Amino acid sequence: MSMHANNPKPQTPRARIRPADLPEVRGKYITEQSLSGLTWFRVGGDADVIYLPADADDLSAFLKNLATDIPVTVLGAGSNTLARDAGVRGVVIRLGRSFADIAREGETDIRAGAGALDVRVAAMAGDAGLSGLEFFSGIPGSVGGALAMNAGAYGRETADVLVRVEAVTLDGEKRELTPDALNLGYRTNGYRDRVIYTAAVLRGLPADQNTIKTQMDEIADKRGTSQPVKSRTGGSTFKNPGGASPDGPKAWKLIDAAGCRGLRVGDAQVSDLHCNFLINHGKASAANIETLGETVRQRVLETSDIDLDWEIRRIGEVAHGA
């Protein structure tokens, strides 16, 4: 069972999956939904079927009974995802409101469903007087996505505050895992394609609520002045080649040095404000955005001899002729 693929080549068309091909569930199936409405870039073709599980037990039963030749793609908040123009075959799993609960657990911990937005986790922790999770307010996405890529911002990352995760394996087994089992690194998770995360327990430290709020306000101000937060974008496009090291090479500097600031392909553009962000000005296709990204990678390779790795996750199939 495939979780997702980054192969940009047009695929041989396969028969579309229908709800009749899938197990009975307590959740909801949606057919032929355009992914353009579910991703922050606002691009992408149709998904064969979108499955909204009722809860972790429903997801578990679905995966246990799903035919092994039906591909599965997990889609979170859609903030760091590029859905290609020909859409996604098989089943797209979205963990919706039933996975968005956030609650305090004990004196120092927060339990958050995988569908909860990162900014809401930061706010909940602040209201509870728990410091250390403020950086989540600067990550546009959901907890599931933060787990899948060990998301981070402003000098901290998910691994720094993670206590344990709840997940369902691709054959339907419910599991609890510790951070050590996940092999977390800079924007990587060694367990990523082996499970679907359903919840996480995150740890903070008791602190003054006003101090926490001040830190979150500072993060909001930094984002607002340095990133195109009001544009149709997918967040940071490429990983920093130097990883989390503050002294390592930064993707945006390499892109700027390669002369790519403001570069356009159709209605897709490298942000003038932050070179590691790509923007859809309204009519860009996924092919425009991906071509722009690959052009940036090539120019950086030619000028700096550094091969940038995509941080944005690309899903689905390229339209023929694109």
First to last CA, the chain: 27
Backbone phi, then psi, for 190, in 5-degree steps? -65, -15
Of the candidates 142, 236, 271, 285, the residue annotated as catalytic is 236
Of the candidates 84, 94, 111, 187, the residue annotated as catalytic is 187
Cα–Cα distances in angstroms (integers) from residue 92 to residues 64, 88, 95, 167, 227, in the given order: 16, 8, 10, 17, 29
Of the candidates 134, 157, 290, 311, the residue annotated as catalytic is 311
For residue 151, give the amino acid letter.
A
Helix (H, G, I), strand (E, B) or coil at 140: coil
How many C-beta neighbours within 10 Å does residue 114 have?
Answer: 25
User: Which 8-state DSSP code applies to residue 310?
Assistant: B
- Annotation says 311 is catalytic: yes
Backbone phi, then psi, for 305, in 5-degree steps? 60, 35
- Annotation says 264 is catalytic: no
Which tokens hold the place of 123? 């706010």
- Annotation says 187 is catalytic: yes
- Catalytic amino acids? 187, 236, 311
